[in-house]
Amino acid sequence: MRDRERKILVVLPTYNERATLPRVIADIHAALPEADILVVDDGSPDGTGPLADTLADTRPWLTVHHRAGKLGLGTAYVHGFRIAIAGGYRFVAEMDSDGSHLARELPTLLAAAEGGAGLAIGTRWIPGGSIENWPWIRRAISRTGTAIARIALRSSLRDLTSGFRVLDTDWLRRLDLGGLDSHGYAFQVETAWQLERLGCPVAEVPIRFVERAGGHSKMSLGIVLEALANVIRWGVELRLGRGGAPAHQGRAPKDPPTQRS
């Protein structure tokens, strides 16, 4: 990574994303040339890892970390968070590697974080947000899952499952990263909810989500069940008085702004 003031690290977890990764990386660099990019590949059998290495050979702002197997989305992001914190980055971005998140919207999310949001979420379910190429049944499942999570967790956030985000590392330091226990897409719910409970200012920014044009979705019944089970467990613990504010690590931001959504 470049030896300069480090502003933002974009973390791209990959598993069999050879068809889409080069375009996603190019689009991120075009939209946010000051960003460094970290690819975290879980031993993709389609050759995503070696392809990413080849791309990194000529791009000083691109780094690739290889893991031994498919260890899950959540652990990939925790790995990226630790790298961002250790590397002195002010912000870290989460983004899919399949092209469903539009890189040209990254600057808007970053601007929200720079404006005081500890967490800027790219939100589909607010005015100005949209989803393209999803059948009605998938929309219904997503909306229902989001509603269940909001009720169970007493959350005011309108897109807890969104994976397009920019986070301030000052707030990430307050999370117990080792205590996060979601491996799949429930990780997005868990981190947003815990930051919300800590009083983190949250900005929900409307985005356009486009269903992947290449590769295959990683969504599975197991991932859905993990998310549902965790949300129910957290909700029960919250109501039994076991859901106090999560432990924090490191320094807290000075004079955090009022939370907004």
Q: Are 14 and 96 in contact (CB under 8 A)?
A: no
Q: Within a domain: residue 34?
A: yes
| Element at 38 (helix H, strand E) | strand 36-41
Q: Do the domain assignments include residue 244? A: no
Report the alpha-carbon distance of residue 73 to residue 145 in Å, rounded: 19
Q: Which residues, given as ranges, of the chain have pLDDT below 50?
A: 3-4, 247-261
Domain count, the chain: 1
In which domain, by residue range, is 184 found?
Answer: 8-239
DSSP alpha helix (H) spans, the chain: 21-31, 48-57, 73-86, 106-114, 136-153, 169-172, 186-197, 221-239
The structure tokens listed for 57 are 């050979």
How many C-beta atoms lie closer than 10 Å to residue 106's C-beta? 23
Q: Is residue 256 part of a domain?
A: no
Residue 109 lies in a domain: yes
Whether 251 is covered by a domain: the verdict is no
pLDDT, residue 250, reads 38
Classify residue 257: in a domain, yes or no. Answer: no
CATH code where residue 107 lies: 3.90.550.10
Vertex 55: Cα angle to 53 and 59 (nearest 5): 110
Q: What is the DSSP string of 227-245?
A: HHHHHHHHHHHHHTT--PP
- Give the single-character DSSP code of 127: T
DSSP state of 101: B
Closest C-alpha among 50, 84, 66 to residue 173? 84
Note the pTM of the prediction, 2 decimals. 0.86
223: closest CA among 212, 231, 234, 213?
231
- Domain membership of residue 121 (yes or no) is yes
As a whole number of angstroms, the distance between CA 217 and CA 96 comes to 11
Distances (CA, A) of 79 to 11, 66, 190, 217, 255: 9, 11, 16, 22, 28
Residues 6 or more apart whose Cβ sits within 8 Å of residue 193: 149, 153, 155, 157, 160, 234
Residue 144 domain-assigned?
yes
Calculate the CA 120 to chain-centre distance: 10
Could you give the 3-state DSSP secondary structure of residue 130? Answer: strand
